[in-house]
Amino acid sequence: MMMNFCFMIIMFICGCLSYSLKRKHLLSMLISLEFIVVSLFFMMIIFLMNYNYEFFFSMIFLTFSVCEGALGLGILVGMVRTHGNDYFQSFSSLY
């Protein structure tokens, strides 16, 4: 049980590290953010299984994470349509 928790902590740290290092492209940031969400979901499932709680909150968490992913992809599509790429250097609010 402790090994699973340590594995999830390592997943979370790797996701945060890749999120902070790959900040030039929006798509790589979205993928890193989804990796963080998956690691948090696994940690929550392990926590709920450990204390014999209901798994209803996990469905609410999955719903919000899917909405977050859809919103991120919508922003990505809008940015690619207006600017032609997903670089943050080409995105300027001076237009």
What does pTM read for this prediction? 0.85
Question: Can you name the CATH fold of 2-83?
Answer: Helix Hairpins (1.10.287)
Each residue's pLDDT expressed in tens, for the chain with a length of 95 residues: 788 889 989 999 999 999 999 888 888 999 999 999 999 999 999 889 988 888 898 999 999 999 999 999 998 898 888 888 888 777 665 55
pLDDT of residue 95: 54
pLDDT of residue 4: 85
Query: In one letter, which amino acid is 70?
Result: A
Whether 69 contacts 30, CB under 8 Å = yes
Alpha-carbon gap, residue 3 to 8, rounded angstroms: 9
pLDDT of residue 41: 94
Alpha-carbon gap, residue 73 to 17, rounded angstroms: 21
| Residue 22: how many other CB atoms lie within 10 Å | 13
CA dihedral 8, 14, 19, 23 (to 10 degrees): -170
